[in-house]
Amino acid sequence: MKITDVQFIISAVRPEQYPEDGLPEIALAGRSNVGKSSLINTMIMRKNLARTSSQPGKTQQLNYYRVNDMVYLVDFPGYGYAKVSKVQREKFGVMIETYLRERELLKLQLLVIDIRHAPSKDDCLMYEWLKHYNIPTCVVATKADKIPRSKWQKHMKLIKETLGMDREDTMVLFSSESGLGREELWNIIAERAVT
């Protein structure tokens, strides 16, 4: 996918702030530190547009990036950060569930998982929400460069089994370090964005 234009549009804290131009949305969820910002930067070929440095768990907002006037990448706050207060956690829950339930422009959810580890309880809960709201999901197993190629299949199988993944959901091996999976993921996004 050739990236001709990327714009950071808004950090939205309320649904009234979501863009109103009707472009399809592809959302990204994952644990803090899983590599979600790096993945976005790799997808859009920018070094630092998605803030890798943003403080984990502090702000509960949806970051909207418009790509090629074709699609929005919508970055959820990272979850599972130990020091988050109960109030913050509840805010996250309400915001995300409302978005999943009501945002008809959401065409595909990317659930980003570190390939080295089995999905956490929070990852499993997020996947359950997605299935509850019938959201097509693509699990992105990132940091693939951190384990030998010979172990990829075994780790992907563990992720699939732990999440209890639906057959119709896809999984992509990814590395922000090498760019592995970038084209494949854009193809999956482009296909979903037009349906």
Binding letters toward ligand GDP, positions 144-163, x by CB under 6 A? -xx-----------------
State how far the alpha carbon of 78 is from the alpha carbons of 113, 130, 168, in Å.
12, 16, 25
CB-wise, 2 or 47, nearer to ligand GDP?
A: 47
Does 176 help bind ligand GDP (rule: CB under 6 A)? yes
Q: Is 142 in the site for ligand GDP (CB under 6 A)?
A: yes
Q: Is 38 in the site for ligand GDP (CB under 6 A)?
A: yes
* 34 interacts with ligand GDP by CB under 6 A: yes
CA atoms within 13 A on the CB side of 167: 0
- Does the footprint of ligand GDP cover residue 35 (CB under 6 A)? yes
* Mask for 69-98, x = binds ligand GDP (CB under 6 A): ---------x--------------------
Structure tokens, 42: 């790799």
Q: Which residues contact 131 (CB under 8 A, 6 or more apart)?
A: 137, 166
Helix (H) or strand (E) holding 171: strand 170-173
CB of 135 to ligand GDP, least distance (A): 20
- Cβ-proximal residues to 53 (8 Å cutoff; 6+ apart), any chain: none
Report the sign of the C-alpha dihedral through residues 81, 111, 133, 97, in that order.
positive
Nearer to ligand GDP, 70 or 145 (CB): 145
**114, 34 Cβ separation under 8 angstroms:** yes
Given the rule CB under 6 A, which of 2-10, 13-21, 35-43, 57-65 is the region that contacts ligand GDP? 35-43
Site of interaction with ligand GDP (CB under 6 A): 30, 32-38, 52, 78, 142-143, 145-146, 175-177
